[in-house]
Every structure is written in C-alpha cells, then in structure tokens.
Structure 1
Amino acid sequence: MGTTDQFGNPTTDTSPHQPSVQQGINLHLPDREAIHIFWSRFRGKGRKKAGLLLSLKNIVLCSWLNIFFVFLPLGWIAHFQKFPDTAVLVLNFLALIPLENLFDYLGDQMSLFLGNDLGDLLIITLNNSVEAVLAIILLLKCELKLLQSTIVGVIILHLLLVPGVAFVTGGAQMWEQNLHPHFSQLNHSLLTLGVLALVLPASFYASLSRGSLADIEAAVLNDNARADFLRISRGIAILLLLVYISSRIYIHNPPGTDNAFQPHPDAPEELKIKEKQLAVRDPEVDSWVGVIVLLIAIALVAVTAEWLVKSVEFLKKENRVSEAWFGLIFLPFVSFAADGFVAVVYFGRVCLRALLHQPPSPTTLAKARSIDLSIQFALFWMPFVVLLGWWTRRPVLLLLDLYEIAVVVASCFLVNHITADAKTNWAEGIVLVAFYLMIAMTTWFYSGQPDMHEMSQCDSVAAFIAAAASGEAGGGH
C-alpha cells in the first residue's frame, strides 16, 4: 500500500524502483554507464576489428555500382570545359549513383557502432544531403520562390512516391507489413506540426490580402509587411528546430533507467532481433575510417549536386516547363534520382533471384524511412535554410502560395491516415503513388501565384514592383 502525508493525501514513492518526478527529470540524460557502453560499442570493443587497409578494400568492393565512380571526374570536366548541358546532366547524375550507394553501405556499417536508431538517423541525414545541398544552392543564387517550391516538392516526394513504391515492393509477398507503432505516433505529430507551421503564415497573409488590387498592394505587397513575415518565419524556424532536436533526444535516449540506446518496448519483434544482431555482428569497416570516408563523400556530393542543378536550368530558362512544375516535381525528382536508381537496382536483383527460384525471405517490417526523410526536411533542413538566409541576408519566407499549402497538407493527411494503424500493404502503396502522380499532373498546368513571386525576391518588394511596372510600360510602348 502507498503512504499518506499528515493530511491523508497519498505520497509519491521515492524508492529506487519508483523514481519521483524530480528524479525523473534528470533521467533523460544518459548516465556515465550508458555513455561508456555507447563509446565501447563505437570503438568496436568485443568484436573483430577491420583495419585501415581491409576497411578501404571493403569500401571499394562493397558494390559493383562503384564502377560508376569513373563518371565523377568526367562530370566535373564536362562542367569546367563547358560541355552541353545534357552531357553535364547525364555525367553528374551517373557520378551521384556510387556516392548514394556508398551512403547506404557506410550508413549500414555505422549502425553496427551506433545502434539501429542512431544508424537510421545517420542514413536519413545522408540521404537528405543531396536535397539539402540543392536547397542551399538555390538560396545562395537567390532563387527564393524556386527554393520554396523545391522544399515542398522534396517533402511530398518522400511522403508519397518513395514510401509508396517501398510499400508496393515490400508488401507484394505479405498480407501486411508493420511499422514501429511508437515512432509512427510521434511521426504523425511531428509531420502535422511541420505542415501546420506552413499554414499559419499563409492564413495570416490570406486574411490581409482582401479587397481591391490597390488595397492588397498597400497592405501586403510592401517591404514592411514582408519584414513582419520574415520575423514570423524565423521565429517558427527556431521553434521547429527545437522540436526536432527534442524529438531526436526522446527517441534515441528516452526517459527512464537503462533505456538509453535501447529499442522501444513496443517495437516490432523483427526490429528487436535486428538490434541484437547489430550488437554482435563483426563490422567490415572501422568506425573512424567510415566517418572520414563519409565526410569526403559528402563534400563530393555537394560539388557534384551543384553541377547537376546548374545543368538542368536550361529547361526553365527555355520555358520548356513552368517554374512551379520545375520546383515541385522536376528538381526534387532529379535530386533523388540517383538514390532511386540504386533502389531500382536492388529491386531488380530481388526480381532476378525470384526468377531463379531464390527469393529472399519476406520481411514483416515495412520500409518507411522516407517518411522520416520528410520529417527531417520539414523540421530541420527547412528551418535551417530560413536561418541561413537570415545570416546571409536573403529573405527566405515560410509563406507559400495556396496551391503548395494545399498539396503538402493533403499529402500529410493521406500519409497519417494510411500509417495510423502502424500497418501497410501494397494497395496502400499504390494509393500514395497515385496521389503523387495526380499532383504532378495538376502542377503541370499551374503557373504559380504572382504575389508570392513578388514577396520572394532578394531585392526590396518596392524595387521589384517598380522594375516590373517599368518593364511592362516599356513593352507597351
């Protein structure tokens, strides 16, 4: 029985087996023993170590896709020698394929040292690297409206197309697959918050932009109004970053004793088995070699992605596609295409083994890592770009046009609805892919919201409107 105080009210048991609220506040930080265990695991203690030469050999021979590394210098030469844009595009796209594959291989190897959850976080961050580089390139070039569209495009690509394809291929041999129920619930909240954070500035703008065109320009399309929206955007960005960092701390080091770096009790059984296997499997790459090679690969990806982005600009300049379709659909798809090619290769290998009557054992664990990609991009990289724009004096707004808001809200609603029961199947994968194709088809005919284009300029709004007016006047004359 519990104890009572002098007033007859029940008191909290503060025994070691039942920590008090005050004690529990300090339990979210890893204790020394947990840190020691993590550090020992990172150093590979108790397992067979791979030396420097063996690590490099395994990295080189990890996949036949490494033969595509020959295109890396060719793509750079094509850029500096001013080859045709199509040649630069193809060569640099092919150069990204082995780098994306290297991210997957080294990410899996680092999971042996970091554990499944931290390893997944590393892989998610690496897989977002090309899209993050793309966003930073557009920021530095002051393509702010295109940057906004691309951010939305990356989010819906990883919410709809990528997990949709994964659910179709993974669920082809299973009645249904399982998601991590605990992470799914948290992901729903995080994803909804990221979307609602974009709804707030748009709703505020819509409430102001009413009346005649002259009234709208006087109330909204001016530098004072944009300054207010910049303050709102930067405040929201800071809060989103804090939420994302807090969620990572909660996931990877939840409150309670002996919970640090351990799988959640409600995790699917297959995930717990995988975690145990990661703890005992001998690595093929030394942890420090993996870190150094990853840093080099990230630098190569950053430069190669820049050449790739520059090579596709001719499509927009020659008006072959609208800027909205170029940002929402084309650029995100191109940035993900190398990683998608790697996935297609692995899927082709599975199909070949099936034809040879050597199919792999079907897994009950659904691959929904791409949803985490969207969450990280919405709650970390998008706010990061806003704050980087603040630092570099580029006015990046979280104020999107209504069509982009509708697209991202609808995508969030559909994904949350499909994953609400923490189970998926191939039919639900088709639903996600079909909705992405609907968005792509609709966006083809969408020309954008003109006032959003005026608000997303590096120059002052007044100067842009005056320059546009004089240009129209000159054209009329």
Structure 2
Amino acid sequence: MDDFLYAERADRVSLCTDHRPYIRIPARGLRGIARVLWTTFSWTTVFLPLIPMAIAVSKFRWSPDCVFWLNLVALLPLFGAFRYSTEVLSAAASPNVGRVWDSTLGAFNLDLAIAFIGIWRGQLIFAKSYIVGKVVASTLWSTGVCFVASGVRSAESSFDETMSHTLGNLLATAMVPFAILSVFPQTENHPPSTSSVLIISRGSSVVFLTIYSFYQLFRHKTHTAFFDPELFVDSQDEESSQQRRRPSSDIRDLGGWVTSVTIIGAATLGYVCSTLALRSMHESTSLTEEVVGFCLIPLLGEISEITKLSRFAYRDRVDFALEKAAGLAVQTMLFIGPLLCLFSWSLGQAMTFRLDLLELASLMASIYLFNGILRDGKSNYLEGALCLGLYAIETLALVVRSRK
C-alpha cells in the first residue's frame, strides 16, 4: 500500500499526472485523502462506517441510549484523523510556529470541542466534569498504561526527574483553586452559587493563563535542556518499517489543502456526532452529565492516543509518554479549564471551578498519587497497576453515585 500511494514510478501510468485537469485534480484529491486515511490508520479506522449510521439512527428517532453510544463510537476515528492532521500542519511549519501551535491550538482536539458545545448548550456540569475527568484520565489512565507497557519489557525504567517534578508542581498548584472554591461557601454566609465563587473562578482563570504562559516560556525558551528536544520532532527511529518507507517529502505534502480538508471534514462530522450525542444524553434515563463528562469523553480522547504512547513506553521511551500524558493534564488545568470558564462567562453563564466532594477527592487523589510515583524518577509495572486501579475505583464511585 505504501508503494502504491507514495512511490512515483516512470513505468506506471498515473491519473494524478494526466494532462486533463478534470481527471488530474479529482485523482490527486482522492490520492491525498487515501494517504491521510492510510497514514492515520489504526484500529479505530474500522469504525468509520458507523458515522453515517449514527447520524441516520438519530433521524429515525431510535432510543436515546442507542443514539448516544453509536455517535460516541463514531467519534473515535474522527479523533485520530483530526489529531494527526493537526500534527502534520504543525510539523510542516517552522520550529517556533510549531511550538506555539502545540502550546495553544494543539490543545483544540475534538474532545475539547465537545466541551465547548456542552457549554453552548448550557450543560455546565458536563463541561466541569470534563476538566476533572481529563486530568484524571491523563495522570492515571495514560500514565498507568505506559508504565505497565514499559514494565513488560524492562523491570524498571527511568525518566528525567526535573521534568517530572516541574509537571507535578504545576498540577499541585493548579489544584489549589479547585480545593479553595469547594470549601469557600462554608466559610461565608453565602449560598454556593454567589458572585464570590464566580469572581474567584474567573480571577483564577486569568492567573492560570498567566502561569501557563510562563510555563511555555520556561519549556521552550529558557530551560529547554530540562525537556528532551526529541519530543517535539518526528522520531523516525521509533516509527514502524512502513512509516520509514514513506518519503518524508510526500508526508509533508499532506500538510497542504488535503490536510486542511481533512481537519474541516473531521471537525464538521465531529460537531454533528457530538451534538447528537449530547442531545441524546440529555434525553436518556440512564446517562448523566457527570458520567459522560468525567469518564466517557476524556477516555475517548485518550484511547485514540494511547496506542502511540504505549508503543514508545514499551521501547523504553518513558520520558516521551510521561511528558505527553502529564503535559496534557497541565494543559487541561492551566489552559483548557480557564478557557472554558471564560467562554461560559462570555455567554453569560455561571461556570465555576467549585467541585463536589467526590470530584474533589478524585482530583486530589490522582495528583497525589501521580506526584508520589514520580518522586524517584523511576517507574515499574506495579506503579502502573496502582494508577489503573485508582482510576477504576474513582470511575466506579462516580458511576454508582450518578445512577438515575
């Protein structure tokens, strides 16, 4: 398939080089789409036929649960295609532009778009649960899977302590406003939904964005030695033999209009499936905003990425996997969370960082365990099992608590 899509042979007639534009242009477009689908191929690609099926069942007004689950699974291949296409555009740009992209626009994946849609629809509990669930999934699920994968091959793996401590301290700092706001109403003679909580939440959002800006300056400009520079470029030595056979110029060619069309198409279909899923969630008698926001949507985004992270961890590149997992958690708390809060403010809605006791306990326990296992700069499969076990317990507790 690589030879068919990428190899240019003089002895083979290609419609992409035909002199007739009405044949050449459509042929190049179809070849570009085929390259994107083949390059982003993973086990989630088999769910592509579910996209029209999920849209169709909603038009025939099937049960809300059926509509929700079909649209949720249909989002899996869209997550992968959207994420890979944005990475291609970032790689095609200059290094400085690529860093800015990764720090800002790189955070805008489809799961974040679903959270914005939820706020637009007034489902603030769902958006708040998404923030907590994304952090918990990144620190426990992704880290746990990577540690188990690395422990299969080696008894113990090491990673940079400075990098891990920096990420851990950022997470611990970002957790403080959530804890303060969860107990703040009990310290004043006000109900929990007063303007005081809103002022602290919105003020904390501005502070978070400032800290995130300093973190990006620290990471990309003043202390780049603390982070592995190979994390920000393609690791050709880690790719499969199929990927190595693909000409780099042809892969960069995907960064043009074909990649843009893929991003627009994935975003459009993602918007349709997300809207249908959130609407059916509201109509369902067995699904709640907390379960969907805390468990399903964050895990959906992690599943599309976990294959790559576990592969790098298995090849003793725990630094890469850990930086991606913990970096996503930091990005969620210091960048995505504030954006969601300020976006709700712009719509005149009162989204705050105040959590209930179960969500607060889950967030604190996740960050506490994450910082604990990073303390010695080494990992093993037992620590991965601890992360996965705690994630299972927190998810089970939330599901049981949220049963309708």
Query: TM-score, normalised on structure 2?
Result: 0.75
Aligned pair partner of 1:379 in 327, 334, 343: 334
Q: Flag the 1:178–1:107 CA change in 2: closer, same or farther, 3 A.
A: farther
Contact 1:108/1:119 (<8 A) preserved:
no
Partner residue in 2 for 1:99: 78
Tell me which amino acid in the other structure corresponds to 2:36. Answer: I
Contact 1:181/1:267 (<8 A) preserved:
no
Contact 2:76/2:300 (<8 A) preserved:
yes
User: Is it true that 1:310 corresponds to 2:290 in the alignment?
Assistant: no
Partner residue in 1 for 2:122: 142
Partner residue in 2 for 1:265: 225
User: Is it true that 1:398 corresponds to 2:350 in the alignment?
Assistant: no
Q: Which range is displaced more, 90-99 or 375-384?
A: 90-99
**1:156 Cα offset (Å):** 1.2
> How far apart in 2 are the matches of 1:361 and 1:441?
28
Partner residue in 1 for 2:16: none
SS where residue 141 of structure 2 aligns? helix
> How far apart in 2 are the matches of 1:410 and 1:398?
17
Contact 2:208/2:334 (<8 A) preserved:
yes
Q: Flag the 1:296–1:170 CA change in 2: closer, same or farther, 3 A.
A: farther
Tell me which amino acid in the other structure corresponds to 1:265. Answer: A
Tell me which amino acid in the other structure corresponds to 1:335. Answer: I
> How far apart in 2 are the matches of 1:155 and 1:344?
15
User: Is it true that 1:254 corresponds to 2:209 in the alignment?
Assistant: no
> How far apart in 2 are the matches of 1:130 and 1:332?
16
Aligned pair partner of 2:251 in 284, 288, 294: 284
**1:304 Cα offset (Å):** 1.7
Contact 1:192/1:412 (<8 A) preserved:
yes
Partner residue in 2 for 1:156: 136
Partner residue in 2 for 1:363: 316
> How far apart in 2 are the matches of 1:445 and 1:66?
32
**1:412 Cα offset (Å):** 0.8
**1:430 Cα offset (Å):** 0.5
Aligned pair partner of 1:333 in 287, 290, 295: 295
> How far apart in 2 are the matches of 1:272 and 1:388?
29
User: Is it true that 1:60 corresponds to 2:37 in the alignment?
Assistant: yes
**1:277 Cα offset (Å):** 6.7
Partner residue in 1 for 2:244: none
User: Is it true that 1:75 corresponds to 2:54 in the alignment?
Assistant: yes
Tell me which amino acid in the other structure corresponds to 1:237. Answer: S
SS where residue 225 of structure 2 aligns? coil
> How far apart in 2 are the matches of 1:131 and 1:361?
26
> How far apart in 2 are the matches of 1:284 and 1:86?
40
> How far apart in 2 are the matches of 1:138 and 1:202?
22
Contact 2:54/2:67 (<8 A) preserved:
yes
User: Is it true that 1:202 corresponds to 2:202 in the alignment?
Assistant: no
**1:376 Cα offset (Å):** 1.4
**1:402 Cα offset (Å):** 2.9
Contact 2:130/2:298 (<8 A) preserved:
no
Structure 1, gaps ≥5 residues long: 1-50, 209-218, 256-263, 351-359, 449-477
Q: Flag the 1:150–1:108 CA change in 2: closer, same or farther, 3 A.
A: closer
Aligned pair partner of 2:171 in 176, 187, 191: 191
Aligned pair partner of 2:263 in 282, 294, 303: 294
What do residues 77-112 of structure 1 show as CA deviations (whole Å, max 9, x unaligned)? Answer: 222332322432343233212212213433553464
Query: TM-score, normalised on structure 1?
Result: 0.65
What do residues 330-373 of structure 1 show as CA deviations (whole Å, max 9, x unaligned)? Answer: 4343224544554677799x8xxxxxxxxx98333351222222
User: Is it true that 1:172 corresponds to 2:169 in the alignment?
Assistant: no
> How far apart in 2 are the matches of 1:174 and 1:121?
35
> How far apart in 2 are the matches of 1:134 and 1:268?
32
**1:237 Cα offset (Å):** 0.8
Tell me which amino acid in the other structure corresponds to 1:103. Answer: F
Q: For 1:369-448, what aligned pairs fall within 5 Å after superposition?
A: 369-446=324-401
Aligned pair partner of 1:229 in 197, 210, 216: 197
More helix by share: 2
Contact 2:107/2:331 (<8 A) preserved:
no
What do residues 284-310 of structure 1 show as CA deviations (whole Å, max 9, x unaligned)? Answer: 142233345324423332332222222
Contact 2:64/2:283 (<8 A) preserved:
yes
Partner residue in 2 for 1:212: none
> How far apart in 1 are the matches of 2:309 and 2:195?
49
**1:399 Cα offset (Å):** 1.8
Partner residue in 2 for 1:36: none
**1:398 Cα offset (Å):** 1.6
Number of equivalences: 361
**1:439 Cα offset (Å):** 1.6
Structure number with bigger Rg:
1
**1:378 Cα offset (Å):** 1.2
**1:155 Cα offset (Å):** 1.9
> How far apart in 2 are the matches of 1:120 and 1:427?
36
SS where residue 137 of structure 2 aligns? helix
Q: Flag the 1:131–1:309 CA change in 2: closer, same or farther, 3 A.
A: same
Tell me which amino acid in the other structure corresponds to 1:229. Answer: V
> How far apart in 1 are the matches of 2:309 and 2:199?
46
Partner residue in 1 for 2:190: 220
The CA RMSD over aligned residues, in Å, is 3.8
Q: Flag the 1:120–1:198 CA change in 2: closer, same or farther, 3 A.
A: same
Tell me which amino acid in the other structure corresponds to 2:198. Answer: L
Q: Flag the 1:83–1:445 CA change in 2: closer, same or farther, 3 A.
A: closer
SS where residue 221 of structure 1 aligns? coil
**1:432 Cα offset (Å):** 0.5
